[in-house]
Structure 1
Amino acid sequence: MPENRISASLAPADKEAVMQAIATIREKLPFLIDLTTEDRRTIVKMGDKSRAFVSKALEVATQNPNFLPRSFDLEEMRRDLEIYEDLYPVLLSLTQLQELVDDTCIAAGSEAYAAALAIYNYAKASGDVTGLDAVIDEMGRRFSRRSKKKKPEAAAS
């Protein structure tokens, strides 16, 4: 069997505490929004290189508000930048945590699947599977491939 990289358990109370912590995070950030795929694709995005540009633009506009149209909401821009700056370290922490949870889940699933494959192969190879034939056949369906249906031939014109 391959290397066992994860051997752990999560107590129900700890799982509940983690879920409650996530609920608390969502409760403390009630303004979070859910962008559509189209929104994500089309909106302009601020990255690390753009942060200085945005800060400088805000400073220029703050010191010289006369050239801005009256409809321009400088305070809203300031709030947007402020929430961005406040959320950025949260995003970094949550991204790191998500990667760790994701990697751990992938490794645990891989180990469980590899063990299941070993059991299946041992059971198939063993001559003593009395009463397990149906279960082994059922497990084997996981690997059955559907035959490709022949495309109907086009009618000759």
Structure 2
Amino acid sequence: MPESKVSARLSPADREAVMQAITTIKEKLPFLVDLSTEERKSLPKLGDKSRAFVSKALEIAAQNPDFLPRSFDLDEMRRDIELFEALYPILLSLTQLQELVDDTSVAVGSEAYAAGLLVYNYAKASGKGAGLETMVDDLGRRFARKTKKVQPQAL
């Protein structure tokens, strides 16, 4: 069998504790929004380069509020910036965690699939006469190619 990158178990209790921790995170962040793909694409993004711009704009607005229209909510801008700054380290941590969970899932899935292929190949090679033919055929359906139906050509 190929080298195993991950050899671990996740107990039902630990899985439940992780799921509860995720629920707690969601409860602590009740203001989270779910954007559609179109909304996400249409919004201007506040990235690393734009953070300094936004901070300077806030400073200018705070020091010179007279040129802003009355409808401009400087306190709301300040709250948005503060929330963004508070969420940023959480976003980085969750992104890293998500990548680790994803990579681990891919690795163990690959290991499980490789092991399944070995079982299938061993059963095909050595299982004849051992009553495994039906099970080998069943496993082999995974690799069966579907024939394309030829469409009659219109005249």
Measured after TM superposition, the shift of residue 129 of structure 1 is: 4.6
| Corresponding position of 2:59 | 59
What's the TM-score once normalised by structure 2's chain length?
0.95
Aligned positions, number = 155
Which residue of structure 2 lines up, in the alignment, with residue 75 of structure 1? 75
Separation in 1 of the partners of 2:116 and 2:129?
A: 16
SS in 1 for 2:84: helix
1:126 CA displacement: 1.1
Q: Tell me what 1:50 maps to.
A: 50
Alpha-carbon distance in structure 1 between the residues aligned to 2:135 and 2:127? 15
The residue aligned with 2:39 is 39
Whose relative contact order is higher, 1 or 2, with alpha carbons under 8 Å and at least 6 apart?
A: 1
Report the CA distance between 1:127 and its aligned residue. 4.6
Rounded Cα–Cα distance in structure 1 between residues aligned with 2:154 and 2:65: 70
**Alignment partner of 1:3: what SS?**
coil
Which AA in structure 2 matches 1:136? V
TM superposition shift of 1:96:
0.5
2:35 and 2:104 map into 1 onto residues whose CA distance is 28
C-alpha RMSD of matched pairs (Å): 1.2
Quick check: 2:123–2:136 contact (8 Å CA) kept in 1?
Answer: yes
Match of residue 123 from structure 1 = 123
CA contact (8 A) 1:123 1:129 kept: no
State the partner residue of 2:10. Answer: 10
Query: In structure 2, how many angstroms separate the alpha carbons of the residues matched to 1:5 and 1:82?
Result: 41
Which runs of 5 or more residues in structure 2 are unaligned? none
CA distance in structure 2 between the partners assigned to 1:74 and 1:50 by the alignment: 18
Q: Deviations over 1:93-146 (max 9, x none)?
A: 011111111111111110000000000010011153532222111111111111
Question: What is the deviation of 1:147?
Answer: 1.3
Alignment partner of 2:33: what SS? coil
Structure 1 unaligned blocks of 5 or more: none
Q: What is the TM-score of this pair, normalised by structure 1? A: 0.94
Aligned-pair identity (%):
70
SS at match of 1:2: coil
User: What secondary structure sits across from 2:45 in the alignment?
Assistant: coil
- For 2:91 and 2:140, the matched residues in 1 are separated by 43
- The answer to whether the 8 A contact 2:120-2:139 is kept is yes
Aligned to 1:89: 89
